[in-house]
Structure 1
C-alpha cells in the first residue's frame, strides 16, 4: 500500500491585521512647554499605536490666526484626519484677531485647544484646582512655583501621570463657565487641552 501523503503545511506567515492609525497634526505657537508636553504624550505606547501625532511649531511664534491658516492649508492633505491648533488668549493684552481665528477654525473644521490666559494654566491644573482669574504673568509664576522649574522647559513625565486629574479640572471649569454664561474670552481661567486629550486618549477626556 502506498503510504498516505500528508498535505504540506502552508509555511507563509500570517500577518496580523492592525487598525490603521489616525493622523493628527497639532500646530503650536510655543516652542518649549507645549511641544515638551505633546511630544511626551505622543510617545506613550497606547497612543503611539493608534494615532500618529505630528507637531508643527510656528518658526515665528505666530499668532492664533496664523496657526489656523496653516492648519487650514494642511487639512487639505488626504492623509491628515484632524488638525488642531494649541494657543493662548493672554491677559491683560489678548492676542490679536482671536475672534476671527476661532470663527475661521470653526468654518474649516479645525479643532482648537485654547488656554486662557495661557498654557501654564493647563500645567497648573495637573497639581491643583484653579478657579480664580489669572493674568499670564500670574499663571507663569504659579506654574513655576508648583513644579520648581526656572525656565520655560518642563519635565513632562511629572505631568503625564496627572493628566486625567487635569482633564477633569479643566472640564469642570468649562461647565462652570457655561452655568455662569461666561463667554470667550471672559472664560478665564479655562483650557481646552482636555478636549485634545479626548481626541487622542478617551480615558483622559475629563468626563464624570
Structure 2
C-alpha cells in the first residue's frame, strides 16, 4: 500500500524546517505514486503534449522514438518495458499513418496495432495524422483529409505557418496550454467527436478507419489523474 501523505499544521509554519512563503492550512508534503503511464510516441509533438498534462499521483514517462516504423515502435516499447523496474505500469503506443505511403504503410499500421494489443498495450492511433486530435477541438469533419489539411486549418487557428513552425520545440511545449486557454477550443468536444468517429468505423480494418484518432482514450486516462 502507498504511504499516507504527511500534513503540516499552520502552527508549525514558522519553524526553521518549514519556512514557506504565505503558508495556508495544511501542506501536502508528499503524494504517493499510484502507477506509471508509459507513452511511447513517434514524434516530439506527441511527447511534449502528453507531458504537459498536470497529473498528480502518477508518473508520466513520454518517450519520442523519432519516426520509427510502427511495428518497430511496438518492438522498442517492449524493450523499454522490460528495462523498467516498475510493477504498476500502463503502456500506450502512439502513432499515426501517412496514407500517401500506400500498401506498405497500411500493413505496418495494422500489424503494429495488432501486435501492441497482443502484448497488452493500449494504442492511441490516428489516421491520417495526430493533428486530427487538435483539429477536433474546433470542428468535426467526417471527410478523409491528408495531414496538410489539418496543418492548414490549425495554422489559421493559431495564426502561424504550422508546416514551418508547428513542430518546433517551443511551440509544441505550449500546445496543451494554447488549446486549454482558447475559448474557441474544447477538449471535451474533441473527446466526444473522436469517440463518434471511432464508433462509426470500428468495424473496419485499422487502416480504413479514416478519419479516426483514439488519442481521446489516452487523454481521458490522463484526465482521471489531473491535479484538482
Task: Report matched runs for 1:30-45 at 5 Å.
Answer: 30-31=43-44, 33-41=45-53, 44=54
Matched, 1:188 2:210: yes
Structure 2 counterpart of 1:75, from 62, 76, 81: 81
Which structure dedicates a bigger proportion of its chain to helix?
A: 2
Aligned residue pairs, count: 182
Residues 57 and 225 in structure 2, CA contact (< 8 A), matched pair in contact too: no
Residues 72 and 110 in structure 1, CA contact (< 8 A), matched pair in contact too: no
Residues 92 and 136 in structure 1, CA contact (< 8 A), matched pair in contact too: no
Give structure 2 stretches of 5+ with no counterpart: 8-29
Structure 2 counterpart of 1:56, from 38, 50, 63: 63
Displacement of 1:144 in angstroms is 2.0
User: 1 CA distance for matches of 2:48 and 2:6?
Assistant: 35
Aligned to 1:166: 190
Structure 1 counterpart of 2:98, from 90, 115, 134: 90
Please tell me the root mean square deviation across aligned C-alpha atoms, in Å: 2.4
Give structure 1 stretches of 5+ with no counterpart: 1-13
Structure 2 counterpart of 1:15, from 6, 9, 16: 6
Aligned to 1:27: 40
User: 2 CA distance for matches of 1:165 and 1:192?
Assistant: 14
Structure 1 counterpart of 2:72, from 62, 66, 81: 66
Residues 117 and 189 in structure 1, CA contact (< 8 A), matched pair in contact too: yes
**Bigger Rg, structure 1 or 2:** 1
Matched, 1:152 2:166: yes
Residues 51 and 200 in structure 1, CA contact (< 8 A), matched pair in contact too: no
TM-score of the two chains, using structure 2 as the length reference: 0.71
Displacement of 1:118 in angstroms is 0.5
Aligned to 2:200: 176
SS of residue in 2 equivalent to 1:185: helix
Q: Deviations over 1:84-125 (max 9, x none)?
A: 111111122253612221121011111111111011111100
User: 2 CA distance for matches of 1:183 and 1:203?
Assistant: 32
Displacement of 1:18 in angstroms is 4.8
Deviates more, 1:138-147 or 1:183-192: 138-147
